Every structure is written in C-alpha cells, then in structure tokens.
Structure 1
C-alpha cells in the first residue's frame, strides 16, 4: 500500500530497506535480507558481464534526467571462451537491444520486432529520481536490473517481476564474438 508521501503511480512493489550484498568479484551491491528467491532450494543469482554493467551505467548517466528502459539478452555460460565456473546452460546477461528498434512497426501492429525471438527476458531500467525499487509504473520482465544515481555498481540491483531483490553476480569475462554469416 502506498503511504501519503508516495506520488500517485509510484507505489513500490517492495518496501524493505536495502542492505549490502556481495557480488562474485567482491564488490558491494545493495540488497535486502529477503533478496534470495528460493527456486527448488537454491538461491537465485543473476549473472551479468562487467562490460555490460559498465556500459549500462555510463548510458544511464548520459541519459539523465531521462529514464532508460532497455531489453537485455543473455548468452549461455558454456559459449564463453573463458571458463566461468558456471553450469554451461546458466544465462549470463551480455547484450542489450535499443528500445527504438522496430518501434514504428510496434506502434502499428502491436508486435515487438526490435527484439529477436526468444531473447529479452530481462530489462534494464533507471529511476533518475529514485527509488531503488520497482514501481507499478515500470515495465517488468522475468529479471529487471534497476539503477539509480550516482550510477555506480553499488546503486544497481536485480529484481524478479514481483519486486523481490535477487543476488547480482558480476562476471569478469568478455562474451563470445558474434559474426554475421
């Protein structure tokens, strides 16, 4: 339920205050004590490459005061050249798709042609004015990476579509090179 200090439409999906959590490279990312989503007895961890995180945060800073909403796509860990220490099928977020791609067709036919089929089960959103929580106004996906100023790794968090914080693991590896046939 929103309180009297919440602007209309900015109702938070979760209300817990964040506390520090660690990424795989030892950096701290805000997280709350209920951040783990139990999936068949395991903690749910979202993997993302350091390069993608750095690029998204730079783009968010450049776009401020406007918000961003990008579709993110993963690459299976087994496709990386380096050994990541993950199950080969584990998705690692490596790419994004610009929201403008295919927008004119989407406006006419209501279909998202800017995102390849089978991709885009994750989103990157920014809240230039805060909060570091999903709101009812946000576009949701299975996984949402959300950033707020000052656009640093410590102000980036991962959520599921219900607004529960997930563990964010930053992977220090380059995604495989893609070539056009």
Structure 2
C-alpha cells in the first residue's frame, strides 16, 4: 500500500511538472469597425456610448438599446438618436458578451465619459491599418493601388487587398452612409 501511494505521488508530481502550452488567440476585426469608432483597437466586440446609454455590436453591425422594458436590436441607429454626432462622442470598448445585460454596471462605471469628446475617430486617422474600412477616406486610393501603403499587397484579415466586408457606400450600422440619419425599423430583441 505504501508503494502504491509513493507511485501515485510520483505520477501526480510528474503530471504537475509537465510544461503547459498556452494557446494564444489573437483576433483582429479592424475591417468591421465603423469609421466613427475610436482609433487604437485591433479588436472590438461592443462599443458602449455613455451619452446615449446604448451599445453597438461590431461583429453583428447592430445597435442595441433599451425601449419599452426590453432590449431592442436594429441594424440602423434609432431615430431618437439621430441628432447626435457619433464621430465626436466618447465610445467605450467592451469585449464582454452581451454587456447590455449588465447595463447598470456599465452606466455607472462610465458615467464620467458623458460629454467627453476626446477620441479620434477612425475616419480621421491616417494609420494605414484603417484603410481596409470601405468608407475610410483613404480606402479608394489604397484599393486602386491594390495594396496598403507601405504594406504587403497580400491578404489582410482574410480579405482581398483594399477590400472590406462592407457593402460599397455603406457604413457599419448605417444606411445611406450618414451615421446620424437612420433608415427603417429594427427587429425586436438581441440576437
């Protein structure tokens, strides 16, 4: 019995000593970010806009806002927010799943960002990594050359050079290319 315990201890010790191989998963979704989003982020799951108390799901290109006692999901900015300038107001990057379900926490945590206009929008950036975004002012110049300035003309983010996943003339989450002029109604409930 004593030998069995010693062997078990040795096996456990050897098992604990084995070096672990951590997996690193790096995601980039720059091409999916709207041009009114803030610069400096290679990956964004949600933007929280404290001035409006709403969320924008970057991968799904959908707005999420509270109305009538429930969360509403829509692909266009709701009409009641149309007078706000998305390029100026502060956006908080949140990479959690369904942050709107903890809205009271985020509202309190980021209340001090209301009324702040201290972020550079992607539209105004001259960093070539943002040129893959279809509505970026430099997108067409890069697409016409077939490569990113100073970069490799090969694929970026699984896309053809100079292309993004957006439809031509469309901003993420908007119709008609203007971030503050919503068109149409959205669906009920988050997806």
State the TM-score, normalized to the length of structure 1. 0.21
Higher gyration radius (CA): 2
State the TM-score, normalized to the length of structure 2. 0.20
Which has a greater percent of strand?
1
Which has a greater percent of helix?
2
